[in-house]
Amino acid sequence: MSEQILYYDTGEVKSRSEVADDGTPNGTVVIYYKSGAVQRESTYAMGESTGTSTSYDEDGNVIRTVTYVDGRISLIDGKPPGPS
């Protein structure tokens, strides 16, 4: 396993990902705004979303959480997906 870092054209870090030897996301993936603030934190198990993915605004406030079970969305902002 290794870490993959991608950059914006201007040089700021765009994302940091733990990846398997074949490049498949396997672990924590963090995506950043150009300002350097965290935009989203997610966890993957061999390319499949797992656990909770959290999205933030540029001020660091949580704007959405999505919980995955077996690669499928289980909860969005603490509620089952679907019509309200």
pLDDT digits (tens, 9 = 90+) for 42-76: 999 999 999 999 999 999 999 999 999 988 999 99
Q: What angle do CA 59, 17, 11 make, to 5 degrees?
A: 65
* First-to-final CA distance of the chain: 41
Our count of domains for the chain comes to 1
Q: 59: how many CB neighbours lie within 10 A of its CB?
A: 8
In a domain? residue 48? yes
In a domain? residue 24? yes
In a domain? residue 81? no
Domain with 19 in it: 2-76
HSE (side-chain half, CA atoms, 13 Å) at 6: 13
Residue 49 pLDDT? 94
What is the pLDDT confidence band of residue 29, given thresholds at 50, 70 and 90?
very high
